[in-house]
Amino acid sequence: MDIFALLYEWLKSAHLIFVIFWMAGLFMLPRFFVYHQESPEGSTEDAQWVEREARLRKIILNPSLIIVWIVGLALAYYTGAFSQGWFHAKLLFVLLLSGYHGWMVGYSKKLARGERPMSGKTLRLLNEVPGIAAAIIVILVIVRPI
């Protein structure tokens, strides 16, 4: 029996677990940004937010993103998903969500430098992006409308 077939359910489970971790980080970081921007520049609180944001990126967000992509692409290859329309749509939304992740990492580095280009209201609105993307991705995977 193929080793991948033996591991398939474990890989699928790992993919879902790390998607949950990644999404948790994507929900947390913009909320951190709101609180960070409300702290006085150069204060102890400001420095604490910089540290919290860096830990969230290094411990949860970036490792989860990498594992999600590696395991997800392996699963897609093994199941032949690359030839299916629902997967192309899902992949598009995962790429967009990955871009959002990259933008947030960049924004956290701006905050660490003392730059605060966005309002708290805008950041609160941006906090909705991962939820909307997750809903669309789940529908594409479960319902497979395409």
User: In one letter, which amino acid is 61?
Assistant: L
State mean pLDDT over 53-69: 98
| Residues contributing to the annotated binding site for heme | 15, 90
| Residues contributing to the annotated binding site | 15, 90
Q: What is the C-alpha separation between 97 and 17, in angstroms, rounded?
A: 17
Dihedral angle over CA of 55, 58, 63, 69, nearest 10 = 110
Q: What is the C-alpha separation between 64 and 26, in angstroms, rounded?
A: 11
Structure tokens at 21: 């971790």
Is the confidence at residue 52, as pLDDT, over 70?
yes
Q: What is the pLDDT of residue 141?
A: 95
Read off the pLDDT of residues 91-104 as tens digits, 9 standing for 90 and up. 999 999 999 999 99
Q: For residue 1, what pLDDT band results from cuts at 50, 70 and 90?
A: low
